[in-house]
Structure 1
């Protein structure tokens, strides 16, 4: 009973908290409230340690979504992780993860942001290595070391903020924007956000982190770890407009979006396809943020969280039934074998593609129309729209491989829809994935802006989606083998499918060589020359002189006579020479 109770109590508490915070956010949004709370933790002489919290509609709404998804994920874990003997430990880790995210969301202070930021990094490492095999350990190490770069950048930003006399960045954003020297803080914060949100060249850890249990993936990739970087930049959005930082971020985010979309079309691991899809959507959020539209980025962040968590839950249910096989080539005909799960997967997939009137459509279509309306270079314009086409392409490929055709695994299989606890969690998110976008659209944009575009540009988004779907069907329909030429061009296929060789560069270039070089330095200096000339030589010299001293202290007559003779000879020689 104990194992069941901790899951259910956590689910109930988080769900009720989510509803409460949602109503708070509505109240704050319509009354335009912002509360800045200072809590004096301790005061010693004239030094006060003060915790600060920022409560506005944005922080409340984001916390509400995080708690909603984490409550359903915990409820889902009750069945998914039921065979695990340490399920209580798992649930507590997830709760610590959510708590770290809460701290990060409500912090207007760089120090408390670092506490939440590092809490996310530490707990994510514990969750990635949860299954305790070599693959998990390697993935955990890659995740931890990649994120350390961002942590160091954040620490340097904290040090640089000493110029202002306070770490409450919220007061200084206007000054920082106009001060060229202070844009250094903006650059460091962007670097930190790029590592956490896995932009190029830090992208390789995100698919590797799929070694974690699927409920963790659903939480990480929807509303917590990878969105922390985007959320931080939404708060720091003043520093991105009309300067070099925003231009660089726009290029990097656009390339990340393109690279992830291309890579997902060559991947056969179900969870990795969805992970690359997350990477693509993070690129979309970062790029629209770099163009100066933080509210749009936040809107897409929330809608994406709903359908991406649902997508991972469906993937988890399929993997659970496939007896832990993740290869989409072993699937097929799942819409007959698992109709409810397949329905949820299809709805989540279509929301990801931007199917009209599902949650993804409201944010994605608006972003692409704003891009069409904005003053933007043709390369970035191409990256936006081509990446959208690639998204639809890999979504249809996934549906083609897993839902249609014949079942490609063992004829004796347990495929069914009987996991009621998992299904209830998925159906809760299904409801939100359908109405969430419309709901948020009315809440965040009660007065719609007029977007006046020529007909060709207005229809471009829809045409790109249709062309992407058609290409996905044509290229990956194995009957049309004359089109499926990717394996004939193995180098291009390998380059595209391996995220532009980024995992190799990250592991060999950024981890292996520095560790080997560090080992050599330690061997040569710490345990070599510095030991020889430092610790060991001092030890040997002291030992030698202490032994000599002991001989003198033994009160031996021979020693005294010898010493007296030596002194007498030295004095005699000096007198003769003088």
Structure 2
């Protein structure tokens, strides 16, 4: 047991120290406007050279510091959360491999090394999703890895197309985009890969299914690693996205994903799935910001979102841990009396998610919304964009009501507490960053002042939508009789909205049923049919018959020769007489 504790503390200290160092270097590189490109030639054979490249600028260093910092907090948190697990060393090693794969992807300036980190994320995420070995986890893991394989194939296709240029370093070829159709194909493939990893429509169904993983893994995945890898790739390829004019498509997909996730979270009762759908909504928000031509602000929101989303999952893990693995929010209530510290942290992270003023989420989210009002946006996207913001506040206040204000609905015999220091210390650090991190990042990242000129109505639009969304979420949760009547009266509509527009069925039951049915027919008619008849089985039958006849002839049986001679003689006589 001491070995397991020491391994957790070792990785915690290592990640924390590396995060601080990278954060200082990121600030220095950002203020000095320094970019370091390192290339190490590993092997050279004739004209073929295999090089390992590293790109260090303020974006990669800052993002790596955030990944390392959140990972260190989650590893310390996991030491208490997973203490009943006999394989905690294996769990910590898997989490560390997950972090190293993400680091490898962040620092890579070429598509080949991006693919290595990309596939490392996919493989380790599959191992972590099926960590609890049951049928539900196996199904969720299979859905996760198969959905992500679509993006891996797209990335492989882009690598194949990059061979036409002689190098996989995409940074060197931006000046060729305007006239080269091949680079447009590469950009489309990269966007497809990023959409699968960030679970944009129609690849959204795997994100809530991945909640089968342990809660510390969910905190890491949904804050700074797996799902943000696609957004980070889009930010890196943002110049290419604008050159090939697919930013409007990304804006539409991002708004649709935001709207779908916001509606689904308002009809969900699983605590972890509600937070997963909130992650999906924020990912759509970042993709919409990239589509509007604001990749730096999307990166700003990516960093601020990582802080409060990790804290939100930590609080959810403590609540689930205390409720003996209960995840239904209808069985909770009055946690503010039983678990005050967790309730405070949960409320702060939820308010930061809503973009309430002067919390971390406000500095990035409000800035993106106000900048979007100064762009050319059609009415459909405008309505979807700002309705999604209201829905975010709606499900957040609904969650606060069910967990904090509602009557206590658990067993009479219970012991709820939040006195474990390995829970309290990471959550305390994260809640401080969730309050002050956004303002500090805004001082560092927003060095060029920009004037935002809006009318009074537009200026107060975001605040009014937030207040309206919070009020609707509270009232809808408060009047349970009204909500039950709505659920029964409009059952089909509620099922459609609550089941993510039936995407889980399309990507699991429907696709699997018909693909397996077609596959069975192909196997039966082709593999086990004509291929066998014209291939191995048919050839074996034919040659076996020939060899049997040959064997009979070679046995030198006089009767066989005599009978065959008589048959041929009679046949010849009949021909001669006719």
Q: 1:259 Cα deviation (Å)?
A: 0.7
Structure 1 residue 341: Cα displacement: 0.6
Normalised by the length of structure 2, the TM-score is: 0.95
563 and 34 in structure 1: CA distance in 2 versus 1, 3 angstrom threshold = farther
Query: Aligned residue pairs: how many?
Result: 576
- Whether contact under 8 Å (2:177, 2:243) holds in the other structure is no
CA distance in 1, matches of 2:511, 2:245: 26
Contact kept, 8 Å, 1:12 with 1:71, in 2: the verdict is yes
CA contact (8 A) 2:177 2:244 kept: no
CA distance in 2, matches of 1:53, 1:261: 38
Structure 2 residue aligned with 1:501: 502
Equivalence map 1:545-556=2 (5 Å): 545-554=546-555
Query: In the alignment, which residue of structure 2 is the partner of 1:230?
Result: 231
Give the CA deviation at 1:380: 1.1
Distance 1:477 1:242, change over 3 A: farther
| Cα displacement (A) at 1:384 | 1.5
Question: Considering only aligned residues, what root-mean-square deviation do their CA atoms show, in Å?
Answer: 2.2
The 1:548–1:269 alpha-carbon spacing in structure 2 relative to 1, beyond 3 Å, is: same
Q: Paired residue for 2:43?
A: 42
Deviation at 1:532, TM superposition (A): 2.2
1:184 lines up with 2:188 in the alignment: no
Q: How does 1:286-301 map to 2 (within 5 A)?
A: 286-301=287-302
Cα shift at 1:555: 5.3
Unaligned ranges ≥5, structure 2: none
CA distance in 2 between partners of 1:177 and 1:213 (Å) = 46
Q: Note if contact 2:73-2:426 (Cα within 8 Å) is conserved in structure 1.
A: yes
Give the equivalent residue in structure 2 for 1:327: 328
Matching residue of 1:51: 52
Residue 207 of structure 1 corresponds to: 208
What's the CA shift string for 1:227-278, capped at 9, x where partnerless? 1110111011012226542111111110100110111111100000000000
1:480-510 Cα offsets, whole Å, 9 max, x none, are: 8489734432222111111111111111233
Describe the superposition over 1:188-235 as per-residue Cα deviations: whole angstroms up to 9, x where unpaired. 111111111001111111011101100000001011110111011101
**Which digits, 9 at most, give the CA deviation of each residue in 1:22-79, with x for residues without a partner?**
1111121122111111112223344322121111111111111011111111111101
Aligned counterparts of 2:231 and 2:437: Cα–Cα separation in 1: 20
Cα distance in structure 1, aligned partners of 2:166 and 2:222: 36
Q: Distance in 2 between matches of 1:539 and 1:479?
A: 72
Which digits, 9 at most, give the CA deviation of each residue in 1:173-201, with x for residues without a partner?
33225545531211111111111100111
* d(CA) in 1 for partners of 2:558, 2:440: 103
Q: Tell me what 2:381 maps to.
A: 380
Is 99-108 or 555-564 further displaced after alignment?
Answer: 555-564
Partner of 1:523: 524
Q: CA deviation at 1:155?
A: 1.2
SS at match of 1:41: strand
Decide whether the 8 Å contact of 2:477 with 2:483 is kept in 1: no
- What CA deviation, in whole Å up to 9, does each residue of 1:417-471 have, x standing for no partner? 1222012111111111111111111111123322121222111111111111111
Q: SS of the counterpart of 2:246? A: helix
Structure 2 CA distance for partners of 1:282 and 1:567, relative to 1, 3 Å: same
Normalising by structure 1, report the TM-score.
0.95
- 8 A Cα contact 1:322 1:415, kept in partner: yes
Distance 2:167 2:568 in 1: 70
| Residue segments in structure 1 that go unaligned for 5+ positions in a row | none
* Aligned equivalent of 2:418: 417
SS at match of 1:500: helix
> Does the CA contact (< 8 Å) of 2:476 and 2:483 recur in 1?
no
| Higher mean C-alpha deviation, range 220-229 or range 524-533 | 524-533
SS at match of 1:54: strand
Structure 1 residue aligned with 2:101:
100
> What CA distance in whole angstroms lies between the structure 1 residues aligned with 2:81 and 2:49?
47
